[in-house]
């Protein structure tokens, strides 16, 4: 973290115009915001800057308007949501650049908070157009990025702007980067990774990167079937990408070369229907009936996974071990999650999780608060697990 400047380095901020990139891309259903987690995550940075007397100008995107103003993707209604979470007045300006933004910013007093309209209403945002970044930068003295979740994109408000103004990581960005450093950057060893979820096809890069970095890679979920099939196991009607067995074999070879233990299911909980409460039985993976599908890994597999969690000093987790949304196929995910949570609470494990359905799975297990860090960043978290550079982070190192 020493590579990045944080709010601790931002002295004499009173009266300055801080352009603060945040993630306000909250889920909406029938016009109502259904989850305010993202707003809550950035609230500490907003309020710290406001308390210090900065004029806090929020930059954010919302949805995919593709470079044009789309009324249904206006951040206008979100200003009220931010106001409720912060319990502080939040002003709104109907454009993020030009006269409208300038006038609203000129009207601010110290400590004020202003939300600017969706940055993606301008085509220059996603193109990272230098002229658009210049137009944004005109309205600020300092840039703070607190949107790790948007850091995998080189857009004007996540990357370009940091080339125009002194740039700092906000508190959420700082916490995320520190957690990632502990997870894979410079982890305590041994490191175990759990990768589950539906398909290998969405996680090839991630698997390739992990086998080179970790001491054990546990593969669960639907994707385990492809690895089992690659070993010649008949997985019956299980979700399986037969066209990817060669890729699975490559990853297994890479694991062996890298001294990474590949931990595949030993037994399986199988059913004939994908639905809650479906009749099920537990069988050895070699004995999956041809008309049945694995919907969870079995108890012997959980024992092996938990033994690795016990052995590990660090755990990185993405994806559920089974179809956790439909009981009883949540058992393995819940059991491993609770074991990891216990070890973390006892100070014996650093546990970092995130991406896709992982947050929902850990919430379902009731353990999110016990993990060292649960990232809600989605795509950026996955790209980090894939070992890809994150432009919005790299530019803060300049």
Binding site for ligand AMP (CB under 6 A): 196-199, 202, 221-222, 239, 294-295, 319-320, 322-323, 325, 356-357
140 vs 221, beta carbon nearer ligand AMP: 221
Find the shortest distance in angstroms from Cβ 296 to ligand AMP. 6
Question: Which position among 53, 63, 67, 379 bears the catalytic label?
Answer: 379
Question: Which position among 38, 41, 55, 120 bears the catalytic label?
Answer: 38
Q: How many CA atoms lie within 13 A of 341 on its CB side?
A: 15
- The CA-based dihedral angle spanning residues 25, 26, 29, 33, taken in that order and rounded to the nearest 10 degrees: -130
Find the shortest distance in angstroms from Cβ 5 to ligand AMP. 34
Find the shortest distance in angstroms from Cβ 19 to ligand AMP. 33
10 Å CB burial of residue 64 (0-12, 13-18, 19+) is exposed
Find the shortest distance in angstroms from Cβ 48 to ligand AMP. 34
Question: Which position among 127, 138, 163, 199 bears the catalytic label?
Answer: 199
231 is known as an active-site residue: no
10 Å CB burial of residue 203 (0-12, 13-18, 19+) is buried
139 vs 358, beta carbon nearer ligand AMP: 358
Q: How many helices (H) and strands (E) does the chain have?
A: 14, 17
For residue 40, give the H/E element and its range.
Answer: helix 37-51
Question: Do 125 and 150 touch, CB atoms closer than 8 A?
Answer: no
Question: Do 220 and 257 touch, CB atoms closer than 8 A?
Answer: no
Question: Do 184 and 191 touch, CB atoms closer than 8 A?
Answer: yes
Find the shortest distance in angstroms from Cβ 32 to ligand AMP. 24
First to last CA, the chain: 13
160 vs 319, beta carbon nearer ligand AMP: 319
356 is known as an active-site residue: yes
Question: Which position among 160, 170, 356, 378 bears the catalytic label?
Answer: 356
220 vs 392, beta carbon nearer ligand AMP: 220
260 vs 294, beta carbon nearer ligand AMP: 294
Nearest to 61 by CA among 117, 2, 128, 136: 117
Using CB atoms, what's the residue nearest to ligand AMP?
Answer: 197
96 vs 206, beta carbon nearer ligand AMP: 206
Find the shortest distance in angstroms from Cβ 273 to ligand AMP. 12
Nearest to 294 by CA among 315, 320, 318, 317: 320
User: How far does Cα 295 stand from its chain's mean position?
Assistant: 25
379 is known as an active-site residue: yes
Question: Do 115 and 93 touch, CB atoms closer than 8 A?
Answer: yes
64 is known as an active-site residue: no
112 vs 357, beta carbon nearer ligand AMP: 357
Find the shortest distance in angstroms from Cβ 64 to ligand AMP. 20
* Structure tokens belonging to residue 230: 């690659």
Parallel, antiparallel or unpaired: strands 216-219 and 191-195: parallel
What is the set of active-site residues? 38, 199, 356, 379
């Amino acid at each position: 973290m020493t590579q990045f400047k944080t709010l601790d380095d931002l002295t004499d901020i009173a009266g300055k115009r801080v352009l603060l990139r945040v993630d306000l891309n909250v889920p909406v259903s029938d016009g109502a915001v259904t989850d305010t987690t993202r707003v809550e995550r950035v609230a500490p940075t907003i309020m710290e800057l406001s308390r210090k007397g900065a004029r806090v100008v929020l930059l954010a995107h919302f949805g995919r308007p593709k470079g044009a103003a789309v009324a249904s993707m206006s951040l206008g209604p979100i200003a009220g949501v931010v106001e409720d979470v912060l319990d502080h007045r939040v002003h709104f300006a109907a454009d993020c650049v030009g006269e409208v933004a300038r006038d609203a910013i000129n009207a601010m007093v110290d400590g004020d908070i202003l939300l600017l309209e969706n940055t993606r209403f301008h085509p220059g945002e996603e193109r990272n157009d230098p002229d658009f970044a210049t137009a944004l930068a005109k309205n600020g003295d300092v840039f703070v990025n607190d949107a790790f979740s948007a850091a995998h994109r080189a857009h004007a408000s996540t990357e370009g702007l940091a080339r125009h103004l002194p740039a700092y990581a906000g508190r959420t960005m700082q916490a995320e980067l520190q957690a990632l450093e502990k997870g894979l950057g410079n982890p305590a060893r041994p490191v175990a990774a759990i990768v589950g979820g539906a398909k290998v096809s969405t996680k090839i890069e991630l698997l390739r990167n992990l086998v080179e970095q970790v001491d054990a890679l546990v593969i669960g979920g639907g994707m385990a079937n492809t690895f089992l099939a690659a070993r010649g196991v008949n997985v019956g009607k299980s979700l399986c990408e037969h066209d990817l067995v060669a890729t699975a074999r490559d990853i297994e070879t890479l694991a062996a070369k890298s001294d990474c233990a590949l931990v595949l299911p030993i037994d399986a909980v199988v059913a004939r229907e994908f639905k809650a409460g479906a009749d099920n039985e537990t069988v050895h993976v070699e004995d999956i009936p041809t008309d049945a599908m694995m919907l969870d890994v079995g108890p012997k597999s959980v024992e092996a996974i938990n033994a690795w969690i016990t052995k590990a000093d660090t755990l990185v987790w993405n994806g559920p071990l089974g179809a956790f949304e439909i009981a009883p196929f949540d058992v393995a995910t819940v059991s491993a999650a609770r074991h990891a949570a216990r070890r973390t609470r006892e100070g014996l494990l650093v546990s970092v999780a995130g991406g896709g359905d992982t947050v929902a799975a850990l919430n379902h297990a009731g353990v999110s608060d016990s993990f060292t860090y649960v990232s809600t960043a989605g795509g950026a978290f996955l790209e980090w697990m894939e070992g890809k550079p994150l432009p919005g982070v790299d530019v803060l190192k300049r």
